[in-house]
């Protein structure tokens, strides 16, 4: 047998283009506070949220994904024949067998390209990151055929009435993965933590609403962050041969999966606590000296086991890490603050926000450390380098140009009063429990280019159209989606 010739290793594998899609409708969180009869500031200050995007009954996981992939390929002039892998990360399931990826294959019918790897990946908010890693691994493997990979991250996050409802949101993001990318994945710097826990799960397939233990979920998030941060630092120190421990001061940007924005401040504070415990036996800086006096023998586990200590140390570390938060993380929460928790796209909405809220000089040559978390649980800390080579700067400009309409799109959305928001959530509940359904929400409340559900037939098949014109309301391109 002839020895197979190996192709040259692809260089600078990473993200080449990004597209984001979010709902046209939103509810104001301050008005939702008043409607829910909770204390003023509970959602806006306590959670750090301003607006929450949501979908009517004419949008589902299929339509969100169709919209973002079609828009991505149009905007960046991607030939359907140039796509060799397509994978979807989502926890918003509408079928126990048929994947969303197969629905998206209809976008490739005209090109006659059916030779596309990938399928759906699911584990709460981590499914999108896993799908992304699969795409990177494919490009870097002997299976790669030279074509691009597209990774789709999409979810609709809705909750039953109660404390969790204001932490909802919705959206979809599509990432193009390939070589010679401006956002390059750092090799050998993925630090995972996986465990079995029931902090958030969806056992009822007839409902969009999860079962959630809020306090447990927070502690699981922070405990996973502890482990991933420690392991990432160890791997980074070994790879870069650092003579001192890696700490927040060495990191250019640090972004997180964001269930709500206040959680991100807690996460930065938690990294600060990790740095303190790691370095307290050495010469500590002025910021850590306050902790040294009061918490000389503290451990990470003790802060999780003792509720009073947990609150005390959280308050201290959030305050002490406020400068690090402002410099490294604050610019990443624009979309999370104004749309809410997108679930799988959440972390990558923070990446987008970071990119559009900083200048080229502040970005090129810098490194972004990312923490991805999905309940149940799965988590990872990894990093991206922005244009590690000057030859990549042109493609970085192209990537940024594709995101330049986001601020205008946020401003163009339509506000819905809380009572109408609740009514629309109640209408969505009907979709999960019936067939032969026709949505009641109007396609007029959608951005141009949005796919929307027109009906579910007696065989549970779903039919979609795309809003492509404002003339006489809208024009349509009909597509049949079989979700049976």
Specify the CATH number for the domain of residue 421.
Answer: 3.40.47.10
Residues 106 and 135 sit within 8 Å (Cβ to Cβ): no
Of 50, 91, 117, 314, the active-site residue reads 91
Whether 400 is covered by a domain: the verdict is no
Whether 201 is covered by a domain: the verdict is yes
Please report the pLDDT score of residue 66 as a whole number: 98
Which DSSP letter does residue 437 get?
B
Considering 338, 354, 388, which residue would you say is the last residue of a domain?
388
| Cα–Cα distance, 269 to 264 (Å, whole number) | 9
Please report the pLDDT score of residue 278 as a whole number: 87
Which DSSP letter does residue 3 get?
P
How far from each other are the two terminal CA atoms of the chain, in whole angstroms? 45
| Residues 238 and 179 placed together within one structural domain of the fold | no
Whether 108 is covered by a domain: the verdict is yes
| Residues 202 and 124 placed together within one structural domain of the fold | no
Please report the pLDDT score of residue 6 as a whole number: 45
| Residues 126 and 243 placed together within one structural domain of the fold | no
| Residues 201 and 342 placed together within one structural domain of the fold | yes
Of 257, 316, 380, 465, the active-site residue reads 257
3-state SS of the chain: helix, strand, coil percent to 5? 40, 20, 40
Whether 69 is covered by a domain: the verdict is yes
Of 125, 261, 271, 288, the active-site residue reads 125
Please report the pLDDT score of residue 479 as a whole number: 55
| Residues 417 and 289 placed together within one structural domain of the fold | no
Whether 5 is covered by a domain: the verdict is no
Please report the pLDDT score of residue 435 as a whole number: 83
- pLDDT of the chain along its 484 residues, tens only? 344 344 578 999 999 999 999 999 999 999 999 999 999 999 999 999 999 999 999 999 999 999 999 999 999 999 999 999 999 999 999 999 999 999 999 999 999 999 999 999 999 999 999 999 999 999 999 999 999 999 999 999 999 999 999 999 999 999 999 999 999 999 999 999 999 999 999 999 888 899 999 999 999 999 999 999 999 999 999 999 998 999 999 999 999 999 999 999 999 999 999 999 988 755 545 456 667 778 888 899 999 999 999 999 999 999 999 999 999 999 999 999 999 999 999 999 999 999 999 999 999 999 999 999 999 999 999 999 999 999 999 999 999 999 999 999 999 999 999 999 999 999 988 887 778 899 999 899 999 999 999 999 999 999 999 998 754 444 455 554 554 4
| Cα–Cα distance, 214 to 218 (Å, whole number) | 6
The tally of domains found in the chain comes to: 2
91 is catalytic: yes
Considering 388, 422, 449, which residue would you say is the last residue of a domain?
388
| Residues 312 and 360 placed together within one structural domain of the fold | yes
On the CB side of 13, how many CA atoms lie within 13 Å of its CA?
21
Please report the pLDDT score of residue 1 as a whole number: 37
The answer to pTM > 0.85 is: yes
257 is catalytic: yes
| Residues 119 and 252 placed together within one structural domain of the fold | no
Please report the pLDDT score of residue 471 as a whole number: 45
Domain range spanning residue 352?
191-388
| Residues 164 and 270 placed together within one structural domain of the fold | no
403 Cα distance to chain centroid:
16
228 is catalytic: no
Whether 71 is covered by a domain: the verdict is yes
Whether 406 is covered by a domain: the verdict is no
Residues 153 and 126 sit within 8 Å (Cβ to Cβ): no
Residues 351 and 369 sit within 8 Å (Cβ to Cβ): no
Considering 326, 357, 388, which residue would you say is the last residue of a domain?
388
| Residues 219 and 122 placed together within one structural domain of the fold | no
On the CB side of 430, how many CA atoms lie within 13 Å of its CA?
16
Query: What secondary structure does DSSP assign to 307-334, as a single string?
Result: HHHHHHHHHHHHHHTHHHHHHHTGGG-H
| Residues 196 and 178 placed together within one structural domain of the fold | no
| Residues 212 and 154 placed together within one structural domain of the fold | no
| Cα–Cα distance, 393 to 398 (Å, whole number) | 9
Whether 394 is covered by a domain: the verdict is no
| Residues 416 and 351 placed together within one structural domain of the fold | no
Please enumerate in sequence order all residues whose Cβ is within 8 A of that of 237, keeping only pairs 6 or more positions apart, or say none. 245, 246
């Amino acid at each position: 047998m002839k020895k197979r010739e190996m192709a040259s290793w692809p260089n600078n594998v990473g993200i080449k283009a990004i597209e984001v899609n979010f709902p046209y409708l939103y509810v104001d969180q301050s008005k939702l506070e008043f409607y829910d009869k909770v204390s003023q500031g509970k959602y806006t200050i306590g959670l750090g949220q301003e607006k929450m995007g949501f979908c009517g009954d004419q949008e589902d996981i299929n339509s969100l994904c169709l919209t973002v992939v079609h828009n991505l390929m149009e905007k960046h002039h991607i030939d359907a024949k140039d796509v060799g892998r397509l994978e979807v990360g989502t926890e918003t399931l509408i079928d126990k067998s048929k994947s969303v990826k197969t629905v998206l294959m209809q976008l490739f019918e005209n090109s006659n390209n059916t030779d596309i790897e990938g399928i759906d990946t699911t584990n709460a908010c981590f499914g999108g990151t896993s799908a992304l890693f699969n795409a990177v691994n494919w490009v870097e493997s002997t299976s790669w055929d030279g074509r691009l990979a597209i990774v789709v991250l999409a979810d609709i996050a809705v909750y039953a009435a109660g404390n969790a409802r204001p932490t909802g949101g919705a959206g979809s993001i599509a990432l193009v993965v390939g070589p010679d990318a401006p956002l390059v994945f750092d090799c050998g710097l993925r630090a995972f933590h996986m465990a079995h826990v029931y902090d958030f799960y969806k056992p009822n397939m007839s409902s969009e609403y999860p079962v959630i233990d809020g306090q447990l979920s927070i502690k699981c998030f922070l405990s996973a962050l502890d482990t991933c941060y420690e392991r990432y630092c160890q791997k980074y120190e070994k790879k870069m041969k650092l003579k001192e421990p890696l700490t927040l001061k060495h990191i250019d940007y640090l972004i997180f999966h964001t269930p709500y924005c206040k959680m991100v401040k807690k996460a930065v504070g938690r990294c600060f606590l990790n740095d303190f415990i790691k370095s307290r036996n050495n010469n500590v800086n002025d910021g850590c000296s306050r902790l040294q006096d009061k918490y000389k023998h503290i451990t990470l586990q003790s802060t999780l086991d003792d509720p009073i200590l947990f609150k005390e140390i959280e308050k201290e570390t959030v305050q002490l890490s406020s400068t690090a938060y402002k410099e490294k993380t604050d610019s990443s929460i624009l979309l999370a603050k104004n749309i809410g928790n997108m679930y799988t796209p959440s972390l990558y909405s923070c990446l987008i926000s970071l990119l559009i809220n900083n200048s080229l000089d502040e970005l090129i040559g810098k490194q972004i450390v990312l923490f991805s978390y999905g309940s149940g649980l799965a988590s990872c800390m990894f990093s991206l380098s922005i244009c590690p080579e000057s030859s990549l700067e042109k493609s970085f400009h192209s990537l940024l140009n594709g995101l330049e309409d986001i601020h205008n799109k946020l401003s163009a959305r339509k506000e819905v009063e809380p009572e109408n928001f609740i009514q629309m959530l109640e209408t969505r509940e009907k979709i999960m429990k019936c067939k032969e359904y026709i949505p009641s929400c109007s396609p007029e409340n959608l951005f141009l280019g949005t796919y929307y559900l027109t009906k579910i037939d007696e065989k549970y098949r779903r039919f979609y159209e795309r809003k492509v014109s404002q003339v006489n309301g809208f024009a349509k391109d009909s597509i049949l989606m079989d979700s049976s």
